Amino acid sequence: MIRILFAALLTLPLQAYETTGLQVEHRSNPVGLDDSEPRFQWQLTGDEPGLSQTAYQILVASSAEILAGGKADLWDNGKVASPFSHVTYAGKVLPSTTGIHWKVRTWNADGEASPWSEDQHFTTALIGSQPSAPWISFKDTTPFHKDRQKLHLPAPRYYRKQLSTDKKVTRAIAYASALGIYELHLNGERVGDAYFAPGWTNYRKRAYYNAYDLTSQFQQGENTLGAIVADGWYAGYVAYGKLVGYGPFKTGRNIYGKTPALMVQLELSYDDGSTETITTDSSWKVATGPEFEADFLMGEGYDARKELGAWSGNGYDDSKWQNAIPAADNGSHKQVFIDRFKKEEQEFGFVEPPVLQAYPAQPVRITEEIPAESVSELKPGTFVFDLGQNIAGLIRLQIKGEAGQKITIRYGEMLHPDGRLMTENLREARSTDIYICKGDSKGESWSPRFTSHGFQFVELSGLKEKPPLTAVTGLVMHSDTPFSSGFECSDPLVTQVYNNAVWTQRGNWIDLPTDCPQRDERMGWTGDAQIYAASAAYHADVAAFFKKWLRELEDAITPEGYYPSYAPYPFGHGGAIHGTAWSDAGIIVPHSLWQATGNTVFFDAHWPAMTRYMEARKKHDPELEGSAFGAPWGDWLNVDDETPHEYIDLCYFAKICQQMAEMAEAGGHGDEAARYRDWLATLRANFRAHHLQEDGSIEPSSQSAYVLALDCNMLTDPAERRATADHLVKLLASKAGPENTGMSTGFLGTKPLLPVLTDTGHHDLALSLMQSRKFPSWGYEVKNGATTIWERWNSYTEEHGFGGADGKMNAAMNSFSHYAFGAVTEWMMSTLVGIAPAEPGYSKILLHPHFPTKSSDDTDQEPISWVKAHHDSPQGRIAVSWKRQDDGSLLYEASVPPNTTAELILPETSPWTSDEPQTKSQEVGPGQHRFIVK
Ligand code: BGC
């Protein structure tokens, strides 16, 4: 029997508490917000046990001075009695292009006020309007590229414009965008640190613009604006377009247009109160620079001998540069666009994006530098560097060379046994950078900027002598979402699986949730995203990131109302545009984000599209029996254990009905909730009628069929669930062997496998799978050197290497950084550690750890004896650790942030003293808690 021997609230001396962690629209002090009613949120920090908020006040002002004077000219909502630590703006209409300053204070249960928070600020972009500057281009006289076999890699263009202002500038805000990807420069320096701006959208419908506050760099007198614009997703190679022959002339490039374009709108305010707008126009000058090619997939080429010097500085001689032209003056280029589903004439000349919105998320940045661990000579002049970690991003090259010496840089995630880079899995992504030295005797340093690679190994060729280790530094690059978790446990392999998943997320969060960072794909596959969204939200604050991507998802809805299989949707591929479990991301991702953040905007903003999707799905399957809905990816990458599409569809339809009903209730759409609950009941009844046998077994009898039935709650009665789970356990056992875990689930079945095993009383089995080093398992990958999550269970096997049993797999599709199987971290956090939202946004927390009871028969691993983890929730940090002690008791410690409560559930079966099932649930408040369980 469980006995709580000791339950103490560690009380520290009373201290003033503070209001901290302020965010607006899920970002800290952003520049360029175009939301007219942004959401503000904050946290309470302090050691006061039970600290909670009873009231708050927010001040929003149009200048720092006004706010410093304790005033608020935009919004002062007075003292509002409320426990909620977030509010949607309801003050005066927010002015555009303005620095907004705000702060919050809160009151605790004793009526004491916190000090005012530190002042926060953000800069509004254009609210209720959009930039209207003309788009410009270089005069593009090259013919449309038609040769599918030959790469066409145009040089990026450098643009510049010197301007003079005789008045004193008090504010300079620039809005900029490109059809392509661009960097903004001012007075000889790059502005900001973002890569791949303005991100990937369907440019024919919508593009983002970025806002830059240039006030402090702007000088009185002369200033020069500059920009470099490369092809990017707009005009360059996209995904597997070249491989399969999509796009105009089947080349896989120019997917949205022929010639990149630039738009800059500079808003100046002067000290005499006047304002001026300066925009791109044909007075801007344009030239090529040292980059002779720059493609997101193919790589970048740079001839350092052709560097332009201070090209974005004042007084630069641009007399040899050409004049830019209005982008439309490059004329119409109508071509036939070819993909799997269409051959259709489209305009590839300039089409102005009808909608421009401020970029709503953290930009892609370099977030870490990784020094090379070793370098080896492959053959004379060719050296391979190992970073020791599979990453996505770039390198910094630091070498000494002779003028004109050509260094070729190639990238790989793995090495062949003979030490060669394994690049077969890149398919048509050339992923090669070229650097031509200028011959600086002090050495030279370079990083590409308009490309990205997925790699652990870097090959340099063209060297005359062995380079030092410092010749290559890895630059880790991803959407800069703040990290929000940590996990460690007694089994280092399990800890590494967690870290590998986080690394895989970092490798794939490049403006959108891509499937992989290395091969010619890198698309926002919706199935992968829905599987992983909840895990992602544990690892990092991904709210703003998904706010962006959900727009791209909605932009790509089919005429029938179906969400697509990837977003953005550059071309149609596969059996259909949509598909079961992939399209369902349109429901599941908003639900996951709502749970993680407590913000209903994730579904409010998309509700009409979501309900339309549900109706379209119902129209496709009026009897609610499950039907082949779209592309038949099914339980993708399972191990010879297929589950019929119709069956998966039935379960997933039920899953999204349940989630829609929950969201409808939370969003005040009661009738719709009832409607989805009705559908759910019918789907469950059909499951019983067609798939469930009397003994609890299921037809079809794949492992994933069982897992999905349980995960999608096709069965709700605990006894029935256990009976069905027993069959799953037998199935696993029947396939298990001395060298095999017995797991055969794919993308859809793997994520819920451990959760349903734990839920139905098979936690030790779940743990033994988690800790296993046998094939297939997460541990097998780690045992074989993985530092990221692999696409397939057999991406590499000791038996067949990279090629799979037929030797062909690698060249077809074999990424070593693919996050879907990494979704096991959700179970690690929610179940093994036991930190989950009991109410959306962790306004109530569920602390429900699951301890191992014994070593399962088929594992040779020591059961996990301690874990230590945390998650930075919207309310603040939740930290949990548990540890088995020498006397057999268990020390459990949890830290609950202020302004929440937690339901703490100790295990149903006492860990080491008894088999008697018992649930112990209690409510604990903010503060540190410590229990010893015998
Ligand atoms: C991607 C997947 C994706 C799948 C669809 C693959 O090429 O890499 O992760 O979900 O296609 O089946």
267 is catalytic: no
Q: What is the pLDDT of residue 919?
A: 55
Measure 522 CA to ligand 1 centroid, in angstroms: 10
Strand partners, 107: 55, 113
**pLDDT score of 198 more than 50:** yes
319, 341, 358: which is the final residue of a domain?
358
- In this structure, the answer to whether residues 72 and 25 fall within a common structural domain is yes
φ and ψ of 844, to 5 deg: -135, 135
**pLDDT score of 916 more than 80:** no
- In this structure, the answer to whether residues 707 and 850 fall within a common structural domain is no
| Backbone φ/ψ region at 661: left (φ over 0), alpha (ψ -120 to 50), beta | alpha
Q: What is the pLDDT of residue 853?
A: 80
512 within domain boundaries: no
Q: Domain containing 399 — which CATH number?
A: 2.60.120.260
- In this structure, the answer to whether residues 87 and 150 fall within a common structural domain is no
- In this structure, the answer to whether residues 171 and 111 fall within a common structural domain is no
Q: Is the CB of 515 under 6 A from ligand 1?
A: yes
493 within domain boundaries: no
* 927 or 5, higher pLDDT: 927
Q: Which of 126, 210, 123, 127 is nearest to 175 (CA)?
A: 210
Q: What is the pLDDT of residue 12?
A: 40
Asked whether 391 and 456 are in contact (CB, 8 A), the reply is: yes
Measure 529 CA to ligand 1 centroid, in angstroms: 11
- Residue at 890: amino acid letter: L
- Rounded to an integer, the average pLDDT of 76-98 is 97
Nearest CA to ligand 1 atom 8: 515
* Number of domains comprising the chain: 5
In ligand 1, the atom with minimum distance to the C-alpha of 820 is 9
Residues of the chain above pLDDT 70, percent: 96
**Confidence tier at 909 by pLDDT (50, 70, 90):** very low
User: Between vectors from CA 867 to CA 725 and to CA 901, what angle results, nearest 5°?
Assistant: 85
Asked whether 483 and 502 are in contact (CB, 8 A), the reply is: yes
124, 144, 173: which is the final residue of a domain?
124
**Confidence tier at 807 by pLDDT (50, 70, 90):** confident
- In this structure, the answer to whether residues 91 and 166 fall within a common structural domain is no
Q: Which of 413, 552, 646, 791 is catalytic?
A: 791
d(Cα 795, Cα 798) in Å, to the nearest integer?
A: 10
Measure 527 CA to ligand 1 centroid, in angstroms: 8
- In this structure, the answer to whether residues 353 and 210 fall within a common structural domain is yes
**pLDDT score of 921 more than 90:** no
- Rounded to an integer, the average pLDDT of 229-234 is 98
Nearest CA to ligand 1 atom 11: 525
Using one digit for the tens of pLDDT, what is the confidence trace for 348-397? 999 999 999 999 999 999 999 999 999 999 999 999 999 999 999 999 99
Q: Is the CB of 516 under 6 A from ligand 1?
A: yes
Least confident of 413-422, 814-823, 918-927: 918-927
Measure 250 CA to ligand 1 centroid, in angstroms: 21
Residues 6 or more apart whose CB falls under 8 angstroms from that of 570 comprise 233, 238, 239, 241, 246, 255, 256, 523
**pLDDT score of 571 more than 90:** yes
Tell me how crowded residue 410 is: count the other CB atoms within 10 A of its CB: 21
Cα dihedral sign, 347-352-358-359 = positive
Nearest CA to ligand 1 atom 5: 633
Q: Which of 459, 521, 646, 672 is catalytic?
A: 521
**Confidence tier at 859 by pLDDT (50, 70, 90):** low
Give first-to-last CA distance, the chain, whole Å.
8
131 within domain boundaries: no
**pLDDT score of 671 more than 70:** yes
Q: What is the pLDDT of residue 5?
A: 39
Measure 812 CA to ligand 1 centroid, in angstroms: 12
d(Cα 45, Cα 16) in Å, to the nearest integer?
A: 9
Using one digit for the tens of pLDDT, what is the confidence trace for 119-128? 999 999 999 9
Q: What is the DSSP letter of 483?
A: B
Using one digit for the tens of pLDDT, what is the confidence trace for 55-70? 999 999 999 999 999 8
> Which CA distances in Å does 815 have to 454, 532, 569, 685, 820?
9, 17, 21, 40, 11
In ligand 1, the atom with minimum distance to the C-alpha of 747 is 10
- In this structure, the answer to whether residues 97 and 162 fall within a common structural domain is no
d(Cα 770, Cα 779) in Å, to the nearest integer?
A: 7
Using one digit for the tens of pLDDT, what is the confidence trace for 716-728? 999 999 999 999 9
Q: Can you point out the beta strands (E) in 794-913?
A: 835-839, 844-847, 866-873, 876-884, 890-896, 901-906
Least confident of 2-6, 94-98, 287-291, 675-679: 2-6
791 is catalytic: yes
Q: Which of 500, 526, 502, 496 is nearest to 514 (CA)?
A: 526
Helix (H, G, I), strand (E, B) or coil at 77: coil
d(Cα 371, Cα 383) in Å, to the nearest integer?
A: 15
783 within domain boundaries: no
d(Cα 340, Cα 422) in Å, to the nearest integer?
A: 30
Pairing of strands 221-230, 181-186: antiparallel
- In this structure, the answer to whether residues 119 and 257 fall within a common structural domain is no
- In this structure, the answer to whether residues 220 and 324 fall within a common structural domain is yes
Find tokens 């088995």 and name the residue.
884
124, 148, 183: which is the final residue of a domain?
124
**pLDDT score of 1 more than 80:** no
> Which CA distances in Å does 843 have to 180, 596, 838?
42, 10, 8
Bond from prior residue into 198 cis (ω within 30 degrees of 0): yes
301 within domain boundaries: no
- In this structure, the answer to whether residues 165 and 37 fall within a common structural domain is no
d(Cα 342, Cα 336) in Å, to the nearest integer?
A: 9
- In this structure, the answer to whether residues 255 and 344 fall within a common structural domain is yes
- In this structure, the answer to whether residues 655 and 577 fall within a common structural domain is yes
Q: What is the DSSP letter of 212?
A: E
724 within domain boundaries: yes
Using one digit for the tens of pLDDT, what is the confidence trace for 391-410? 999 999 999 999 999 999 99
Domain that holds residue 28: 18-124
Nearest CA to ligand 1 atom 4: 525
Q: What is the pLDDT of residue 907?
A: 64
d(Cα 630, Cα 580) in Å, to the nearest integer?
A: 6
Least confident of 417-431, 576-590, 692-706, 793-807: 793-807
Q: What is the pLDDT of residue 913?
A: 39
- Rounded to an integer, the average pLDDT of 674-698 is 98
Q: What is the pLDDT of residue 805?
A: 82
**Confidence tier at 299 by pLDDT (50, 70, 90):** very high
Pairing of strands 31-33, 120-124: parallel
778 within domain boundaries: no
**Confidence tier at 912 by pLDDT (50, 70, 90):** very low
506 within domain boundaries: no
d(Cα 36, Cα 125) in Å, to the nearest integer?
A: 10
User: Between vectors from CA 489 to CA 485 and to CA 490, what angle results, nearest 5°?
Assistant: 165
Longest dimension (CA), the chain: 87
**Confidence tier at 15 by pLDDT (50, 70, 90):** low
